[in-house]
Chain A
Amino acid sequence: MSEILFIGLSLSSILLLIALGLSITYGAMGVINMAHGELVMIGAYTAVLAGIYLGLNLFFALPLAFLMAGVVGLLIERLVIRRLYGRIIDTLLATWGVAILLQQAIRLEFGLTFFGIHIEGLGPGLQNMAVPGFLTQPFDLWGLTIQPYRSFIIVLTLILTGVTWFLMYRTSIGMQVRAIMRNPQMAAACGIDVRRVSMLTFAYGSGLAGVAGVLLAGFKTVQPDMGASVVVDGFLVVVVGGVGSLFGTLASAGILGQINGSIAVLTNDILARAVVFGVVILLILWKPRGLFSMRSR
């Protein structure tokens, strides 16, 4: 029983990890960021490259990936999304284009393959991010088998959620973000630099995606199109949880992960996936704005 709970919890933590960044870019800023998965991928590649060229392990790769994905997110915001605020369908198309661009940039090694140059760690192949040995060796604690890597993901996800909550609800910049979420014109009228705050918010959400990428790299493969499957799960969680609600994202990741985990263990993964989608449909029919929607005026 405890094992089923643990698998569910671990699935939840991964969903939450991916959705956390999205709940900010989509939830708070109204941007359907189809490139979110590619920011995850960039985080993963940062970890791979840091391992090869700088000899850094997973722990040092985490802040590096946060910065890297954050900077790429910042560039996307400045170059593309800034011109498209309020045009939600257009952001979908534009960021999808960005996603394909980023994928191909990695696959073609930024175009260097055309000149016969190969950078180890890039290209169309599968890449390997080394996981420190002590994170792969399970141990027993009070009769339970603890899987260190999954536990590590769960703990780190909770910390990141806590930090995000603190930033959003206990700092002045968080207050500004929430003001912009409610009504950007009014926020601007009150003297908030909407452009700057939006840019930083987007960069922060992207950075979280980068961190997710490093952690995913530890048990998935790193490859140029690894982000595509990830982004669907992310949107699922954010929409069910209620757009713009951090607590909603947390709750929906928890619920969907547990449903997926327990059904997968009892029957099989394919059925579990179908049930999750079924539950999502019912939840959206029952609460079209998500479980914990923000009341708008």
Chain B
Amino acid sequence: MTLNRRKFIKQSSALGAATALGPSLYATSSQAADEIEVGVLFSLTGGLSIVEKSLADATMMAIEEINAAGGVMGKMIKPIMEDGASDPKTYNEKASKLVIRDRVPTVFGSYTSASRKAVLPVFEKRRNLYFYPTYYEGFECSKNVVYTGAVPNQQLSNFIPWIIENLGKKKFFIVGSNYIYPREMAKVCKILIEQGGAEWVADEYLELGHSEWGAMVNRIKESGCDVVLSNVVGSSVVAFYREFKNQGLTHDTLPICATVTSEIEIAAMGAEFAAGSFTSFPYFQAIDTDNNNAFIERYRAFVNDASAVTHHALESSYFQVFLWKQAVEKAGEATPEAIREGVKGQTFEAPNGTVTIDPDNLHAYLTPRIAQWGADGQGTIIDEYPEPIQPLPYVAYGETGDNLFCTAAGLDTTKL
């Protein structure tokens, strides 16, 4: 068979047209008449599924509630659920699938910073939108992510001065799991500790998931510190608090002040091991408002577990869907750019109080709170800001409310 030049061009251009046309023929359109598709991307399997399953549940619950109330602009939200499998690479693949094949205008997802960093290029390159519900280390300024969890200034800027002044502690032992979040948190801690006129005696890390704390707790005991600042994450938290008590340390004299330990970990370790210790979060299950109590009740009914606990990232997973809904309604259309413009300045009455999305850096205004854990596994809120404070993701590098590093125009790298 001979293939002359003209024929070749004809055939290949026909093929080209077919491939260009292809996806729109069989890909499901997110602009279908009566529904809007969104992606929900959490780990349903693997080590992180313990926490991420609850985030996925809270997201689905919010979607269900919105649909029951008539949907968004009269359209039902149709969630497409994918499993990140506790693996950043899988996260990246699933995010690509949701954005490119399913063409969703928004994805709700991620718990760890590692998984967020893994999906970030997908959303930035495809100009899509990601709603991230977890407290994290800051130092990020993406136009394609809406961050609804706390950043360090909403978790530590109130916590460290409070420890120094109210507990009268002067020597900090900083301990964490060995990855980006605890290390960045430690950086912020050290700045705040030095500002407060106290000192830190050690800054130590153990592998994520490490469960043998004998040697580390022994070092804490020998270090002469008078307070432990814990950025320990995941199942290690349980082993840490148990070993702490087993070696005869008590929270009365040497309290653990934590940034990650939430209701989930407390329930898993047994409340007696944490009783007396402190955690700083914008949300606690113990917030005693009608809004929050009703939220807890609905969540328990939704997951069919009368003793299920709620926590900060879970609550953010819930309210961010409502912020998204308001943004779509304000924008009048469900495209990523329109939703991003729409979400700026959106306000919602969340279980933790009023949350607002900062128009500059797309992070959430949240109310810092400090709780002391009791013998019943619940926190007692002992310190609380009167109102939500502005999120400053670059606080460790000198960002202030008057001098924002991350603005709507993007990150000003000259300030770093």
Contacts and interface: CB of A to CB of B under 8 A. Distances in A.
Contacts, number: 106
A11 B214 contact: yes
A130 B267 CA distance: 11
B271 to A, nearest CB: 9
B113 interface: no
A210 to B, nearest CB: 19
Given A125-B268, A128-B269, A128-B270, A264 B215 contact: yes
A120 B307 contact: yes
A184 interface: no
Contact of A269 (B49, B215, B235): B215
Given A136-B246, A270-B207, A126 B214 contact: no
A265 B246 contact: no
A7 B218 contact: yes
B212 A221 contact: no
Nearest to B53: A124
B215 A126 contact: no
A183 interface: no
Interface in B376-400: none
B209 A229 contact: yes
Contact of B245 (A127, A136, A222, A229): A136
A126 B246 contact: no
B214 A124 contact: no
Contacts of A82: none
Contacts of A124: 49-50, 53
Given A147-B247, A219-B242, A219-B243, A269 B269 contact: no
B215 A138 contact: no
Interface string A202-232: 0000000000000000111111011001000
A221 B268 contact: yes
Interface in A107-161: 107, 116-118, 120, 124-128, 130-131, 133, 136, 138, 145, 147, 149-150
Contacts of A90: none
Contact of B248 (A147, A220, A222): A147
Given A145-B248, A147-B248, A220-B211, A269 B216 contact: yes
A221 B238 contact: yes
A149 B246 contact: yes
Contacts of B338: none
Interface string B30-71: 000000000000000111011001000000000000000000
A283 interface: no
Interface in B210-236: 210-212, 214-216, 218-219, 235
A126 B265 contact: yes
B206 interface: yes
Contact of A265 (B206, B209, B215, B265): B215
Interface in B275-329: 303-305, 307
A39 B247 CA distance: 29
B404 interface: no
Nearest to A138: B248
A221 B237 CA distance: 9
B237 to A, nearest CB: 8
B178 interface: yes
Contacts of A3: 218
Interface residues of B, number: 41
Nearest to B236: A221
B378 to A, nearest CB: 15
A269 B238 contact: no
A158 B210 CA distance: 25
A185 interface: no
A224 to B, nearest CB: 9
A3 B217 CA distance: 12
A272 interface: yes
Given A7-B215, A118-B305, A128-B270, A268 B204 contact: yes
B411 interface: no
Contacts of A11: 212, 214
A261 interface: yes
Contacts of A223: 47, 50, 235
A117, A124, A150, A273 — most chain B CB neighbours (10 Å): A124
Contacts of A150: 214, 246
Interface in A1-18: 3-4, 7, 10-11, 14
Interface string A249-285: 0000000000001001100111011000000000000
Contacts of B264: 125-126
Nearest to B239: A220
A138 B246 contact: yes
B238 A220 contact: yes
Contacts of A138: 246-248
A10 B215 CA distance: 11
A82 to B, nearest CB: 30
Contacts of A220: 211, 235, 238-239
Contacts of B205: 268, 270
Nearest to B268: A126
A16 to B, nearest CB: 14
Contacts of B216: 264, 268-269
A128 B267 CA distance: 7
A126 B235 contact: yes
A118 B49 CA distance: 17
A126 B52 CA distance: 12
A228 B315 CA distance: 31
A25 to B, nearest CB: 23
B304 A116 contact: yes
Interface in B176-209: 178, 204-207, 209
Contacts of B305: 118, 120
Contacts of B243: 219
B268 A128 contact: yes
Interface of B: 45-47, 49-50, 53, 178, 204-207, 209-212, 214-216, 218-219, 235, 238-239, 242-243, 245-248, 264-265, 267-270, 272-273, 303-305, 307
The 3 A-B residue pairs whose C-beta atoms are closest, nearest first, are A126-B268, A264-B215, A138-B248
